[in-house]
Amino acid sequence: MAFPEAGTSVDLSVIFGPIYWGFVFSLLLGGITILQGYIYFTRSKDSLSIRLAAASMIILDMLSSALIAQSVYYYLIPHFGSAVPLDGLTPELSAECLVSTTITLMCVDCALYSLNALLN
């Protein structure tokens, strides 16, 4: 990645605008997830293992949001205006990829479990 010379201005809004608004939208969906969890846990008669999986996914979703918040902070606050940090990922973003993969696998596992119970 070619970086501009020191003292020149760089418009990073093209890079950080979508990241910021995606994070804001993610927080909105996180609130909806909490509401769905509340409704689910107050009305569900599922087995304990399914309820624990649902609780784990909600907790991991909040962890994912926290990791993204830290990364957005890292790029926008202490390194504002510098393109140098864009050359690599923060450890938080790497961990968030692992958390998202875990959530996805748990969702697929629950869907397969439900499908198996429906067919048998």
CA distance 56 to 58: 5
The residue written with tokens 């926008």 in the block is: 76
Instruction: Supply the pTM of this predicted model.
Output: 0.77
Q: Please give the mean pLDDT across all residues of the chain.
A: 86
Per cent of the chain over pLDDT 70 is: 91
Asked if residues 106 and 56 have their Cβ atoms less than 8 Å apart, the reply is yes
